[in-house]
């Protein structure tokens, strides 16, 4: 199976209770591909400016990440400036500079158009729809992330693309805004009517709720002593989740549960450092150690 992500590659200025960093490599496609590529090769579609140089390229090198769909344009890359308070669950956006992202029209290289697993990162739903239309064959699984900006500002286009989506990954606030419901079971019923058969609700430090027609799964976040920077946790989760599905070529409930735990553990490494530092430094030993620890944290022995 081939796995394709369309999203952003960005520079972030980050302020959290743990400190401050400027011009940190970020963006949904960066976190997603760094996480997913530990499990399965990834193809990336995104746009960057002239500020994306050798230092940034090196982050993706030596990994199963195909950057032939990464377009370089004159100008600066997308910049985001965000701040987190003691409650690390919500970021305050201080500044957004779209730059080259402003007229990004993802164009899929021919080699990408038969990907069987497609992740539509959080971008304009019109662009997400356009990507789906460029596929030569309908991917086996299409997953989508979005945010309140599009839910409230571009609902018709979002509803259009959702009809073509199998797996929706959103946080709790977004799930509520999209459906008008507060209760997760009711939210899932509404989401199914909109298209996706699988719903993943990301709940920050409280973990993830997975809803599928075969059954549901409730997973905690991996407990950490220090969270340095929550940026990218959701995209890292999505990368681990989709990478696991692509690697196993399966979406039965057991696989989806394991994919949830894989995404959860990868996200725990992301939030321990600023930007993609945690994912870059991650060893297989550390990954498998923490996966085992998470299994233990939720495991109840059969009687």
Q: Which residues bind its own copies (CB under 8 A)?
A: 86, 182-186, 203, 206-207, 209, 215-220, 223-226, 254, 257-258, 261, 295-301
**Shortest distance, position 119 Cβ to its own copies, whole Å:** 23
Distance between CA atoms of residues 10 and 28, nearest Å: 8
Alpha carbon distance, N-terminus to C-terminus of the chain: 39
Q: Smallest distance from the beta carbon of 86 to its own copies, in angstroms?
A: 6
Q: Minimum CB separation from its own copies for residue 292, in Å?
A: 12
Q: What are 229's two structure tokens?
A: 């920077």
Give the contacts of 149 (CB within 8 A, at least 6 positions apart).
Answer: none
Closer residue to its own copies, CB minimum distance, 102 or 249 = 249
Please state at what angle helix 284-298 crosses helix 253-270, rounded to 10 degrees: 120
Q: For its own copies, which is the closer residue by CB, 49 or 230?
A: 230
Helices 253-270 and 233-248, interaxial angle, to 10°? Answer: 140
Give bridge partners of residue 148 from the DSSP assignment: none
Tell me whether residue 129 or residue 184 sits nearer to its own copies (CB atom): 184
CB of 187 to its own copies, least distance (A): 11
Instruction: Tell me 44's DSSP state.
Output: E
Residue 103 vs 296, nearer CB to its own copies: 296
By beta-carbon proximity to its own copies, the closer residue of 94 and 298 is 298
Give min distance, CB of 288 to its own copies, in A: 13
Helix axes 28-36, 233-248, angle to 10 degrees: 40
Nearer Cβ to its own copies, position 154 or 218?
218
Buried b (16+ CB within 10 A) or exposed e, 281-297: ebeeeebeebbeebeee
CB atoms within 10 A of CB 245: 28
Q: Which is nearer to its own copies, 63 or 216 (CB)?
A: 216
Give the shortest CB-211-to-its own copies separation in angstroms. 9
How far apart CA 247 and CA 36 sit, in angstroms, is 9
Q: Is the separation of the CB atoms in 199 and 188 below 8 Å?
A: yes
Considering the complex, what minimum distance in angstroms separates the CB of residue 234 from its own copies?
Answer: 17
């Amino acid at each position: 199976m081939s796995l394709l992500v369309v999203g952003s590659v960005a520079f972030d200025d980050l302020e959290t209770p743990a400190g401050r960093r400027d011009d940190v490599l970020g963006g949904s496609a960066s976190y997603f591909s760094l996480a997913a590529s530990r499990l399965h090769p990834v193809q990336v579609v995104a746009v960057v400016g002239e500020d994306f140089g050798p230092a940034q390229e090196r982050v993706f090198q030596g990994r199963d990440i195909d950057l032939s769909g990464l377009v370089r344009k004159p100008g600066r890359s997308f910049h985001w400036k965000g701040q987190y308070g003691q409650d690390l669950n919500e970021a305050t956006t201080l500044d957004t500079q779209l730059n080259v992202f402003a007229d990004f029209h993802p164009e899929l290289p021919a080699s990408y158009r038969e990907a069987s697993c497609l992740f539509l990162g959080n971008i304009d739903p019109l662009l997400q729809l356009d990507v789906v239309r460029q596929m030569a064959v309908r991917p086996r699984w299409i997953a989508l992330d979005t945010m309140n900006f599009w839910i409230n500002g571009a609902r018709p286009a979002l509803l259009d693309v959702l009809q073509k989506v199998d797996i929706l990954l959103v946080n709790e606030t977004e799930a509520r805004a999209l459906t008008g419901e507060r209760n997760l079971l009711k939210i899932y019923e509404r989401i199914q009517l909109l298209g996706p058969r699988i719903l993943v609700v990301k709940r920050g430090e409280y973990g993830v709720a997975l809803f599928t027609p075969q059954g549901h799964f409730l997973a905690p976040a991996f407990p950490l002593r220090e969270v340095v920077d929550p940026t990218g946790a959701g995209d890292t989760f999505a990368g681990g989740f989709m990478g696991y599905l692509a690697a196993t070529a399966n979406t039965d409930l057991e696989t989806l549960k394991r994919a949830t735990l894989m995404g959860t553990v990868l996200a725990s490494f992301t939030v321990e450092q600023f930007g993609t530092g945690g994912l870059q430094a991650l060893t297989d030993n550390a990954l498998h150690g923490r996966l085992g620890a998470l299994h233990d944290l939720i495991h109840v022995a059969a009687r």
